[in-house]
Amino acid sequence: MTGTRGPLNAFLDLDSIPVSNAQSGPLAGLRLAVKDIYDVAGYRTGCGNPQKYQQASPASATAPAVQALLDSGARFVGKTQTDELAFSLMGLNAHFPSPVNPAAPDRVTGGSSSGSAAAVAGGLADIAIGSDTGGSIRAPASFCGLIGLRTTHGRISLEGAMPLAPSLDTFGWFAKDMATYDMVGAVLLGDDLHHHEFQRPLALGALDGLVLGPQEADEYRALVRTVASVLGGAPRTVAPLSHSTDYLYWCFRKLQGYEAWQNHGAWIAGSDRMLGPGVKERFEHGATIDAAAAQFETERRVSFRLELADLLGEDGVLVLPTAPGAAPLKAASFDDLQTYRERALRLLCLSGLSGFPQITLPLGRVDGAPFGLSLLGPKNSDRQLMALAARILSAHQRSA
């Protein structure tokens, strides 16, 4: 692995190996980019770490979910950069030049699906595959002005993908428009098992209050008015959950850290892996969490999931900011990026801990940069969320 190629640092500079695809199908003619945690036959899977890449053998088969898109006519155009071992949220990998955010070049793309988001936002791909453990579809989509769905946990196979924290890992993808997004969803998701229409928009004050400041709050309120125009009323602010946002954040962090160390700890401990800042410390934190602590947090997580399921019922949808604001500036200090990350995870962790789907929509702008609004629905309501998203995006475009 010699670095990146192209003006946006989105794609890895790898030898070109032919990848066959169907010549017809619903995705025929669409260009497909794939995050480098997924196997593509003939390519090594580097996972954002040069030592991983050097030690890997070429994949003998393509990850089934990726193969399904190729079999539907999508044309592979390259593997995209990922944050190191997919354990970051900013799109900054110490081993590679940072991907460029075409929607806000002075700001980060978000990660860990950084190259995939840059490729779609920059028009280098029509569809780009990513993954979402702690927000790695939703944050880059919000930062780069894209559509991004964190799918119901376990609904799309992750066979042939590098695991980070399996109880949290999900498959995801980026696109600029809802028509393309829905075509991919039809291939990968099939029909929803959840059939009730969304009739109760809901809000949690603790989440709405996590936006960065007055400008973000004003823009978010404007976006919510668009949602209200489609759903027939403003989201109803409900009583606080019994679990605070701080508790949920730490529950997520401990479970993610524990599982990440279980998957990668032995390899990391085997040599100096030259892990980048932030990634190194997160793995070290995971090493301190024992099985008893993880079991305790798992039990608390189940309690939260049941509470959120009861709140949503069959017809509720939670409306929330995707991230605290626009993407952080690339020039921000390491400490400022960490502070933003911790605030963002308090918004992003609900979907991860519950396993319920969440879609982010490119509706807003703050300081000239994209700012997304999210919808979180009940388990297996993925395509219903997409249909609602299409209506909201259409209403937004009419009012623009």
SS3 for 348-363 is HHHHHHHCCCEEEEEE
**From the CB of residue 25, how many other CB atoms can be counted at a distance below 10 Å?**
17
136 is catalytic: yes
**The tokens of 24 are what?**
């017809």
Catalytic residue (one of 88, 136, 374, 381) = 136
Catalytic residue (one of 72, 88, 98, 112) = 112
Catalytic residue (one of 35, 52, 79, 176) = 35
Strand order in the sheet with 127-132: 4-5, 11-12, 75-80, 31-35, 127-132, 170-175, 147-150, 358-366, 369-376, 316-321, 200-204, 236-238
Select from 88, 67, 63 the least CA-distant residue to 158: 63
DSSP states of 263-330: HHHHHHHTS---PPTTHHHHHHHHHT--HHHHHHHHHHHHHHHHHHHHHHTTTEEEEEESSSSSPPBT
**The tokens of 39 are what?**
């196997």
Tell me if residue 218 falls in helix, strand or coil. Answer: helix
**The tokens of 309 are what?**
């399921």
279 Cα distance to chain centroid: 17
Catalytic residue IDs: 35, 112, 136
